[in-house]
């Protein structure tokens, strides 16, 4: 256990810096117009502080960079694959590993193996790519997260929990044979980076075991979830994050991982399973979609950096500083009276755009609008997580209207300083001061899949 300390200050110092570009308001207005008011379509050089995502944006350690030099770029049987397998077994406990180029590569393979047309996938809230692959395989996602997760004002500490009654109802109504697995994420990204408790996970395990249903773990931010369990769950405070991570994984049957988050690499992911049959089929699929089963679309050096990143990611000091920085920003914004999802998430602060811009109807895309306004104000790039991300209803073709209409300020790991956090908070507070004068957007181009990435917008005139 770490001793009690005053500050979340970083357990590292900076050895190399990347200069940032400073822009003028006029340049930013022009850049935003060219990007169709979609922060995903901005050029990174036009951005000062990039909070678009914590995915692939972390700073690697000197050890990880050194690991790149140890890449064994053999087509088959790379030494680095075996290092990665060792790390996955040691820190997560899963038996079999199939590397993939990133998380959605693993989701594709796993969905193709486990889901039949007509199947039902209950989960603790959807994630965009996960749900897309479940649907492509013919499945239907059903939300079984606790109601508190849909209420940005609820202070419930474990908003990632499964509502067991909802899960039981899905099993009773659909039949266990139509449910290949329960889809469980640690933490829940779309709910605002909210954790699931160990007690709840154990209860989900007991219920699914009774019906012979698997749990597939989206373990993208499992160390952050484990840290919140350590901090908040009764009886867990004296245990290390590494121990809790291992426990979480051992309550599930397999996993998909986007190593671009928790595991501190710029690219990479994997699928893991404890079932030999699933592993065998995954090795058949991976050669079609990613590459041979010992590299899965990655260079040997990428797998080495990932193996080292996994070990670093479960260190108490690392995770305490990582989440500490996010909470620091959350506190600053609360002090300024800005409406946020409470409690603050572990990978970012989520602004409640419905409460920030109450005069805008959801069809005027309040969160998309707010992300655009923050960019113009300061060059800080954030991301919409609301009606645009939710996409359209598969049956009716109408927009989905999610309860949560959010702007995500996602903090890359080990990249920005406390002064950067202050700049961000000041900028959001300035936009909040002039919120009454903000008008919404209309969508002028809508792509077929995952529309938030490439959709274009124009301002609605006041």
Q: How many residues does the chain have?
A: 462
H or E segment at 441? strand 441-445
Q: Choose among 398, 409, 394, 333: nearest CA to 362.
A: 398
The position carrying tokens 């602060």 is 349
User: In this structure, what are the phi and psi dihedrals at residue 366, rounded to the nearest 5 degrees?
Assistant: -55, -40
CB of 186 to ligand F0G, least distance (A): 9
Contacts of 319 (CB under 8 A, 6+ apart): 223, 224, 226, 227, 241, 313
CB atoms within 10 A of CB 158: 24
Given the complex with ligand F0G, which of 260 and 332 has the nearer CB atom?
260
User: In this structure, what are the phi and psi dihedrals at residue 387, rounded to the nearest 5 degrees?
Assistant: -65, -30
Peptide bond into 187 cis (omega under 30): yes
Catalytically annotated residue among 128, 140, 187, 220: 128
Which two structure tokens, joined as six digits, stand for 377?
């104000």
Given the complex with ligand F0G, which of 130 and 208 has the nearer CB atom?
130
Contact 189, 224 (CB under 8 A): no
Contact 201, 361 (CB under 8 A): no
Catalytically annotated residue among 37, 126, 416, 452: 452
Catalytically annotated residue among 385, 408, 413, 451: 385
Tell me, yes or no, if 413 is annotated catalytic: no
Tell me, yes or no, if 365 is annotated catalytic: no
Contact 312, 58 (CB under 8 A): no
Given the complex with ligand F0G, which of 71 and 105 has the nearer CB atom?
105
CB of 222 to ligand F0G, least distance (A): 10
CB of 202 to ligand F0G, least distance (A): 21
Interacting residues toward ligand F0G by CB under 6 A: 53, 55, 102-104, 127, 129-130, 185, 189, 218, 220, 258, 260, 269
Alpha-carbon distance 362 to 371, whole Å?
Answer: 14
Given the complex with ligand F0G, which of 171 and 226 has the nearer CB atom?
226
Given the complex with ligand F0G, which of 80 and 186 has the nearer CB atom?
186
CB of 64 to ligand F0G, least distance (A): 17
CB atoms within 10 A of CB 14: 10
Sheet holding 383-385, edge to edge: 348-352, 406-410, 383-385
Which two structure tokens, joined as six digits, stand for 449?
């899949």
Given the complex with ligand F0G, which of 130 and 194 has the nearer CB atom?
130
Catalytically annotated residue among 46, 50, 119, 218: 218
Tell me, yes or no, if 385 is annotated catalytic: yes
Task: Characterize the bridge pairing of strands 406-410 and 120-123.
Answer: unpaired
CB of 269 to ligand F0G, least distance (A): 5
Tell me, yes or no, if 128 is annotated catalytic: yes
Alpha-carbon distance 252 to 249, whole Å?
Answer: 5
Tell me, yes or no, if 261 is annotated catalytic: yes
CB of 190 to ligand F0G, least distance (A): 8
Tell me, yes or no, if 127 is annotated catalytic: yes
Given the complex with ligand F0G, which of 171 and 322 has the nearer CB atom?
322
CB of 380 to ligand F0G, least distance (A): 16
Report the alpha-carbon angle 128-134-138, nearest 5: 135
Q: Catalytic residue positions? A: 75, 127-128, 218, 261, 385, 452
């Amino acid at each position: 256990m770490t001793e009690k300390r005053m500050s979340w200050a970083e357990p590292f110092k900076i050895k190399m810096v990347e200069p940032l570009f400073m822009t003028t308001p006029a340049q930013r207005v022009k850049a935003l117009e060219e990007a169709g008011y979609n922060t995903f379509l901005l050029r990174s050089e036009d951005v000062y502080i990039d909070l678009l995502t914590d995915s692939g944006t972390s700073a690697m350690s000197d050890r990880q960079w050194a690991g790149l030099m140890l890449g064994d770029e053999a087509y088959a049987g790379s030494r680095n694959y075996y290092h990665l397998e060792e790390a996955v077994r040691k820190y997560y406990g899963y038996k079999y590993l199939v590397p993939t180029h990133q998380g959605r590569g693993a989701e594709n393979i796993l969905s193709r193996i486990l889901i039949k047309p007509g199947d039902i996938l209950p989960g603790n809230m959807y994630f965009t790519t996960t749900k897309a692959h479940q649907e492509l395989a013919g499945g239907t996602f059903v939300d079984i997260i606790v109601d508190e997760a849909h209420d940005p004002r609820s202070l419930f500490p474990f908003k990632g929990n499964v509502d067991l009654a909802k899960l039981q109802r899905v099993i009773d109504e659909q039949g266990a044979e139509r449910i290949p697995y329960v889809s469980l994420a640690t933490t829940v990204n779309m709910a605002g980076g909210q954790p699931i408790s160990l007690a709840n996970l154990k209860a989900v395990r007991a219920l699914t075991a009774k019906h012979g249903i698997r749990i597939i773990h989206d373990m993208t931010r499992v160390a952050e979830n484990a840290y919140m369990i350590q901090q908040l769950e009764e009886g867990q405070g004296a245990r290390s994050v590494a121990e809790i991570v291992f426990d979480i994984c051992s309550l599930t049957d397999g996993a998909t991982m986007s190593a671009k988050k928790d595991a501190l690499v710029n690219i990479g992911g994997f699928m893991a399973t404890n079932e030999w049959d699933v592993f065998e089929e995954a090795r058949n699929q991976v050669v079609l979609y990613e590459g041979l089963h010992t590299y899965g679309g990655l260079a040997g050096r990428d797998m080495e950096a990932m193996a080292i990143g996994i070990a670093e990611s479960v260190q108490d000091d690392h995770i305490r500083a990582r989440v500490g920085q996010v909470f620091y920003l959350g506190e600053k914004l609360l002090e300024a009276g800005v409406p946020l999802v409470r409690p603050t998430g572990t990978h970012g602060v989520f602004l409640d755009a419905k409460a920030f811009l109450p005069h805008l109807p959801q069809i005027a895309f309040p969160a998309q609008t707010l992300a655009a306004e923050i960019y113009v104000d300061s060059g800080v790039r954030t991301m919409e997580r609301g009606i645009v991300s939710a996409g359209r209803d598969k049956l009716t073709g109408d927009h989905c209207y999610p309860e949560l209409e959010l702007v995500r300020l996602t903090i890359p790991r080990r990249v920005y300083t406390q002064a950067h956090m202050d700049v961000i908070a000041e900028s959001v507070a300035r936009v909040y001061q002039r919120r009454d004068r903000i008008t919404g957007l209309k969508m002028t181009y809508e792509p077929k899949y995952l529309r938030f990435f490439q959709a274009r917008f124009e301002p609605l005139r006041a």
